[in-house]
Amino acid sequence: MTDIPSILAEHYPFWEHLKADEQHAFVSCSMIRGYEKGSFVRSDCDECLGVLLVLSGELRIYIQSDEGREVTLFRVGPGELCTLSASCVMSEITFDIYVEAAEPSQVLITRAGCVHRFMETNIYVENFIYKQTAERFSDVMWAISQILFSSFDKRLASYLEDERRRSGSTAITATHDQIAKNLGSAREVVSRMLKYFEKEGLVSLSRGTVTITDIPRLKALTA
């Protein structure tokens, strides 16, 4: 998939409101990049990334404390956008986010500086970017509320159930460290709770895999 104009026209509703020379400029600011699982999505220069459109795979969007603790905010799958990665062009957003390829991924990146110029001159672009950003903030608030107000056993059960539904398999391939990063916790805390779940017959554990053995009881924990 290398026809960038067609991809932009399909996924960006403001495309039809751009003049031919503006479309050409937008295309020249966009590029397709491939990322291996676990690699970080970075800008080619010092500015923030820009707008990300996932063509295949999945990206994990997270924040990180000074001590290195990670909190996953949301994930972006095929056909979905991430505009928080262009937060440097929005003065209202003052925190940094990080982007990691959760799966082998192909991503269409439109540079932040280009997005900013179009936001200043085209109301359709500005409205679209702010609408996408506002919608993602609901995911951010949900992630933060889970950390602040939900017990860890409920959060872990919800994570395992979400992964089961997403993958269609009861065998979830993830290390305890990866689960901890997704939940904004410590690996030791995850390991203790998983061992408790195993003792209770909810899951079975093997190296790099958590297998759900009692779906109804696990789902009951998420209620």
For residue 71, the model assigns a pLDDT of 83
Residue 94 has what pLDDT? 60
pLDDT at 190: 93
Report mean pLDDT in 10-residue bins for the chain, 223 residues.
87 95 95 93 70 95 82 91 81 75 94 91 94 88 80 92 92 92 87 93 94 94 85
Domain boundaries, the chain: 4-148, 150-222
Contact call for residues 79 and 1 (beta carbons, < 8 A): no
CATH of 4-148, one of 2.60.120.10, 2.40.30.10, 3.40.50.720, 3.30.70.20: 2.60.120.10
Amino acid at 20: A
Q: What is the architecture, at CATH level 2, of domain 150-222?
A: Orthogonal Bundle (1.10)
DSSP string spanning the chain?
A: ---HHHHHHHH-GGGGGS-HHHHHHHHHTEEEEEE-TT-B---SSSS--EEEEEEES-EEEEEE-TT--EEEEEEE-TT-EE-GGGGGG-TT-----EEEESSSEEEEEEEHHHHHHHHHH-HHHHHHHHHHHHHHHHHHHHHHHHHHHS-HHHHHHHHHHHHHHHHT-SEEE--HHHHHHHHTS-HHHHHHHHHHHHHTTSEEEETTEEEES-HHHHHHHH-
What's the predicted TM-score (pTM) here?
A: 0.76
In order of 12, 63, 197, 200, the CA distances from 207 in angstroms are: 42, 27, 16, 19
Quote the CA–CA distance of 91 and 125 in Å, as a whole number: 16
Q: For position 105, what pLDDT does the model report?
A: 97
